[in-house]
């Protein structure tokens, strides 16, 4: 799933052992893949997701209320993942990722809190394919909505497995657009879910006119 991409970007490391977090083999590719996430105009949490050749693969439908909001990732056959945000206290948020078949027990949960001068989103995941737990780290320029994604700590020989960037085209000025490049063997739905949460965090920051950096920890 996802179109093969050219090597006109920073090096990322293919994973020989496929990483399955919460998707089946259909969403783990043997080749490096790329996706374009385009926010729909006038729709707070709605996106359309295409491969780099322009083929539409997923829709994202967003709903919002005073107490929670959701992002539902769908393919042609129906919903694949549900991302649900819920306030916890004055500043904190949780982002729960559910299977559509069980909306009570989250597959993963993200807890966010403010930290000064942090440009990192840290993710603890459990690989169902190898039964190994490890960390994924997004690190980069949060102000401009871009990040390099690593398996492991980038300061301790972590392997680069993805690149997320906000597009700089005229279209992206009118409606936000991101590109994400994912290395071979990596769970694509996990990476897409992280990109959507990344956007949600910064959209809220824009709306609140805050300039603080934020650090996030995901736990299973």
Q: How many CB atoms lie within 10 A of CB 46?
A: 17
Integer Cα distance of 107 and 172 in angstroms: 32
**In tens digits, what is the pLDDT along the chain, a chain of 220 residues?**
666 555 545 679 998 888 888 766 789 999 999 999 998 887 667 999 999 999 999 999 988 766 668 899 999 888 888 888 876 555 557 788 888 888 788 887 776 655 544 456 777 788 877 888 888 888 777 677 788 899 988 888 899 999 999 887 666 566 689 999 999 999 999 899 888 888 887 777 666 654 444 444 444 4
Residue spans per domain, the chain: 3-219
In 3D space, the residue among 49, 51, 57 whose CA is nearest the CA of residue 76 turns out to be: 57
This prediction's pTM: 0.83
CATH 3.40.50.1580 fits 3-219, yes or no: no
Integer Cα distance of 148 and 81 in angstroms: 23
Integer Cα distance of 214 and 169 in angstroms: 26
Helix (H) or strand (E) holding 194: helix 188-208
Integer Cα distance of 40 and 177 in angstroms: 9
CA dihedral 13, 17, 18, 21 (to 10 degrees): -100
């Amino acid at each position: 799933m996802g179109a093969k991409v050219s090597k006109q970007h920073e090096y990322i490391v293919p994973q020989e052992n496929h990483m399955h977090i919460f998707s089946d083999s259909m969403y783990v590719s043997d080749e490096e893949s790329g996706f374009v996430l385009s926010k729909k105009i006038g729709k707070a949490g709605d996106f359309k997701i295409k491969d780099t050749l322009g083929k539409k693969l997923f829709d994202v439908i967003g709903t919002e209320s005073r107490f929670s909001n959701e992002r539902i990732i769908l393919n042609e056959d129906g919903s694949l993942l549900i991302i649900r945000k819920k306030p916890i206290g004055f500043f904190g948020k949780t982002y729960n990722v559910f299977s559509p078949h069980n909306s009570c027990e989250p597959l993963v949960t993200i807890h966010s809190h403010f930290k000064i001068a942090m440009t990192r989103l840290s993710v603890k995941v459990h690989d169902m394919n190898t039964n190994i737990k490890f960390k994924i780290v997004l690190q980069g320029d949060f102000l401009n909505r871009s990040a390099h994604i690593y398996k492991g700590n980038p300061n301790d020989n972590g392997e680069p497995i993805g690149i997320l960037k906000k597009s700089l085209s005229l279209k992206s000025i009118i409606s936000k657009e991101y590109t994400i490049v994912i290395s071979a063997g990596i769970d694509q739905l996990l990476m897409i879910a992280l990109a959507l949460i990344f956007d949600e965090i910064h959209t809220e920051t824009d709306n609140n006119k805050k300039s603080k950096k934020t650090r996030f920890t995901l736990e299973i």
